[in-house]
Amino acid sequence: MTTIATLFPKVYLVKPFVHFDERGSFSEHFVDQNFTNAVGRKIHFCQDNLTHSKRGVLRGLHYQLPPFSQSKLVSVLQGTVLDLVVDIRKGSPTFGQYFSQELSAENQLQLFIPRGFAHGYITLSETSIFQYKVDNYYNPQSEGSIRPDDPTLAIDWQLPKDEWIQSKKDQNHPTLSEAPLFDFKDDLYV
């Protein structure tokens, strides 16, 4: 596996090695030791989640507040999504900035998102299967969220808003300035 730097230190694109032959392909999607070496620290993932979505489904921007904050390793098993992270660490030099990347079954890129970042994605293909690992269990009282159409973020989701399909809950998120956020601390990465 190789890692590719992004706009944010400690947020990485991860590319597994893929072996092709006349039968198709094989890759080791996740190997704990290789991942630890790639990101420079041990992450104990405790749960895998799958979502199935149709074109235009926008999920996010979500996060968990301490002490239930989560790091995520996300990938796409079918289709194509625009995946996006926003730095929500007050005091960070990159606070309020975002990084986006198309993830697809074809490019097999994964995105590692440490604690302190909001995360969301939109399905660009007809359907998608999205997989993500988390290193902490979901806690409803620690849930945080930001409107994906917050004008201060000015995110280009690649599909017009009238094509978005969102849950009622996701339609009512606060803006970045209204949301509970993280304080910038290096220990968020531990």
Q: What are the 10-residue block averages of pLDDT along the chain, 190 residues in total?
A: 88 87 86 87 94 97 94 97 96 95 96 96 98 96 95 97 95 94 68
CB 100 within 8 A of CB 109: no
The Cα diameter of the chain in Å comes to 54
Write phi, then psi, for 105 (nearest 5 degrees): -65, -30
Give the pLDDT confidence of 102-117 residue by residue, as tens digits.
999 999 999 999 999 9
Taking only Cα atoms into account, the Rg of the chain, rounded to an integer number of angstroms, comes to: 16
132 is an active site residue: yes
Give the pLDDT confidence of 3-21 residue by residue, as tens digits.
888 999 889 999 888 888 8
* Cα–Cα distance measured from residue 134 to residue 114, given in angstroms and rounded to the nearest whole number: 10
Residue 10 falls in which region: left (phi positive, over 0), alpha (psi -120 to 50) or beta: left
CB 115 within 8 A of CB 22: no
**How many other C-beta atoms can be found within 10 angstroms of the C-beta atom of residue 153?**
18
Residue that the structure tokens 């660009």 belong to: 124
From the candidates 63, 98, 132, 173, give the one annotated as an active-site residue.
Answer: 132
pLDDT at residue 109 in the model = 96
pLDDT at residue 190 in the model = 45
* Cα–Cα distance measured from residue 90 to residue 96, given in angstroms and rounded to the nearest whole number: 9
User: Domains, the chain, ranges and CATH?
Assistant: 2-189 (2.60.120.10)
From the candidates 62, 98, 119, 173, give the one annotated as an active-site residue.
Answer: 62
3-state secondary structure of 75: strand
119 is an active site residue: no
Residue that the structure tokens 């995360």 belong to: 119
80-87 and 143-145 strand pairing = unpaired
CB 100 within 8 A of CB 141: no
Q: How far is Cα of residue 160 from the mean position of the Cα atoms in its chain?
A: 21
Burial of 28 (0-12, 13-18, 19+ CB in 10 A): exposed
